[in-house]
């Protein structure tokens, strides 16, 4: 799980690079906001799920499903915060940062354990 968070961090940096090339400094900050809006909830989800696995009880499935729901709500909440706290955000860059960071999920399947 933590390997995915690392891959998402690398992908978020690629999103920042894309935002910089397309929109300059504002695009870089906006793409970083988009990347972090995906990466931070994933990091909390990974930490929480690892704690559940260490307890060795039968609540793995419910913890996973509840964690995924909380992760999705957290992403939406962070995007609302970006809208409220950074009114000059370049939303194209935010979406690019999110999209590139989300692609790390597919590359995580290619990385051997």
38 within 8 A of 44, measured Cβ to Cβ: no
Distance CA 56, CA 93 (A): 42
CB 13 within 8 A of CB 104: no
Residues 100/18, Cβ–Cβ less than 8 Å: yes
The pLDDT profile of the chain, 113 residues, written as one tens digit per residue, is: 788 899 999 999 999 999 999 999 999 999 999 999 999 999 999 999 888 888 776 678 888 899 999 999 999 999 999 999 999 999 999 999 999 999 998 887 887 65
Q: Where are the domains of the chain?
A: 2-108
The 8-class DSSP code of residue 58 comes to: S
- pTM of the full structure: 0.90
CA 86 vs. chain centroid, Å, equals 18
């Amino acid at each position: 799980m933590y390997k995915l968070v690392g891959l998402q961090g690398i992908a978020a940096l690629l999103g920042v690079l894309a935002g910089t090339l397309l929109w300059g400094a504002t695009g870089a900050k906006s793409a970083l906001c988009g990347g972090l809006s995906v990466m931070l909830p994933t990091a909390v989800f990974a930490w929480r799920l690892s704690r559940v696995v260490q307890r060795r009880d039968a609540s793995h499935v419910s913890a996973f499903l509840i964690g995924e729901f909380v992760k999705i709500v957290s992403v939406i909440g962070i995007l609302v915060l970006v809208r409220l706290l950074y009114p000059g955000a370049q939303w194209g860059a935010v979406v690019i940062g999110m999209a590139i960071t989300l692609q790390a999920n597919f590359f995580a399947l290619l990385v051997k354990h």
